[in-house]
Amino acid sequence: MNVALDIKKALPILFAIMFFVMVGFGIIIPVLPFYAEEIGATPTELGLLMAVYSLMQLLFAPMWGRISDRIGRKPVIALGIAGLALSFFLMALATQLWMLFAARIIGGFLSSANMPTIMAYVADITSEEDRGKGMGIIGAAIGLGFVFGPAIGGVFSKTSLEMPFYIAGISSLITFLLVLFVLKESLTEEARGHHAGKRPPMREALNGPSAMLFFLQLFVSLSLSGLEATFAYFAADTAGLGTVELGYIFMIMGLAGAIVQGGLVGRLTKKFGEPFVIQLGVAVSALGFFLILFVDDFLTATIFLSIFGIGNGVIRPSVAALLTKKATAGYGSATGLLSSFDSLGRIIGPPLGGWLFSIAIGLPYISGIILSVIALILFRVYVRQSKKLSSAA
């Protein structure tokens, strides 16, 4: 299935593409609530505006993954990034709330192509031995993009609230040109023909052992998004931290996660295998949730959240690597379905975390520990089922 591409050249290009995509996405994060409010959005409408993007990702990521299996990775990635640029420019020009919703829907629909197709591209060009390293590098690009994006958005928002959207749009256009003129196709004509006409493998995937990996990703995403939605309030109540301190904390957490994903995931998966790294990541995440309950100042918040971020950061690249090794109907189909489960967690997580926080401020993190334990149990079930299938074969 693989094309004879130079991995040492292709991975840095993919890293740059994913980094710029996430920088563009991150730029608008600190500005969008204020921008929507200025246009006239209520808090409920703002919540819906944030959720509709994830809903589009949930619905359409598997479709784009399957399409990339049939027509190639490059055109699908190019379309996804062009859609992202279009959505940013539409948001910058929005004068009414419905225009913002339309831009978010278009952006979510088209950009849902990016993540699964880039992960499938990595699977195309890497051997099974190096798969974890490749996925980790993409994870590092995502983490670093989220570190720099919000900071850039905050700086340009001082000029005007529209300016960050224009900057994000220009960043995405540059990325589109990078895909168009520098990125080479990774999927051979033969491999594309192999997947043409095949039925979507969703039923097969959700009935086999791999179903446990998809649900594991759902619970990981659910607990992470619940933390992201509530930690600012928790830190303000327990440690008196403000927005500036929280910005630094999340920046350090993102850097720690990116460094581990870019430099450690590949080595660990090569030496111990993805199953070990996934279980280690889930266990460290659970430890991070536990420690967060004892945050009482800036230093403890930074250390404990970084521990959580390091554990959480190694899970998805390792799950994606393991899934693509087991995929029978195309890498894009597997990574698209994984992105869909991740998006489902991001839709449910924030309101669930907020509701738990309203009952008791520590509940989102206690539930994070419980969800981590469930994720570990699911993974052990996956290992047992896989061994039974191998023995039967």
Whether 377 is in a domain gets the answer: yes
Let me know whether 27 and 126 are in one domain.
yes
Is residue 190 domain-resident? no
Instruction: For residue 37, give the CATH number of its domain.
Output: 1.20.1250.20
Number of domains in the chain: 2
Residue 153: per-residue pLDDT: 87
SS3 187: strand
265 in the same domain as 169:
no
Encoding tokens for residue 294? 């004892």
Residues of the chain with pLDDT under 70: 1-6, 191-207, 328-329, 393
Task: Tokens for 356, please give them.
Answer: 């738990």
Assess if residue 193 is contained within a domain. no
Residues 127 and 21 both lie in one domain: yes
Classify residue 159 by its DSSP letter.
Answer: T
The pLDDT assigned to 205 comes to 59
Task: Check: CB of residue 118 under 8 Å from CB of residue 95.
Answer: no
Tens digits of residue pLDDT in 163-200: 999 999 999 999 999 999 999 998 877 766 555 545 55
Residue 192 domain-assigned?
Answer: no
The verdict on 125 and 23 lying in the same domain is: yes
Closest CA to 41 of 87, 104, 106: 104
Residues 351 and 261 in one domain: yes
Secondary structure class of 136 (helix, strand, coil): helix
pLDDT at residue 309, rounded to an integer: 92
Distance of CA 6 to the CA centre of its chain: 26
Do 308 and 340 lie in a common domain? Answer: yes
Domain boundary among 159, 185, 211: 185
194 domain-assigned: no
* Pair (121, 239) in one structural domain: no
| 281 in any annotated domain | yes
Of 150, 185, 220, which closes a domain?
Answer: 185
Q: Compute the Cα dihedral for 227, 233, 238, 240 and give only its sign.
A: positive
What Å distances lie between residue 266 and 2, 68, 285, 316, 376, CA to CA?
20, 25, 19, 13, 21
Count of all residues that appear for the chain in the document: 393
Does residue 305 share a domain with residue 173? Answer: no
78 and 24 assigned to the same domain: yes
Statement to judge: residues 281 and 243 lie in one domain = yes
Position 372, amino acid = S
**Domain-ending residue, one of 153, 185, 217:** 185
Tokens representing residue 375 in the block? 């994720």
Query: Are residues 164 and 129 part of one domain?
Result: yes
> Which residues constitute the domain of residue 280?
200-393
181 is a domain residue: yes
Give the model's pLDDT for residue 370: 97
Distances (CA, A) of 347 to 17, 49, 123, 372: 25, 11, 27, 18
Beta bridge partners of 116: none
Q: What is the pLDDT of residue 191?
A: 67
Tell whether 191 is covered by a domain: no
117, amino acid identity: T
For residue range 234-273, list pLDDT tens digits in order. 998 999 988 788 888 888 998 998 989 888 888 899 899 9
Instruction: Tell me, yes or no, whether 136 and 221 share the same domain.
Output: no
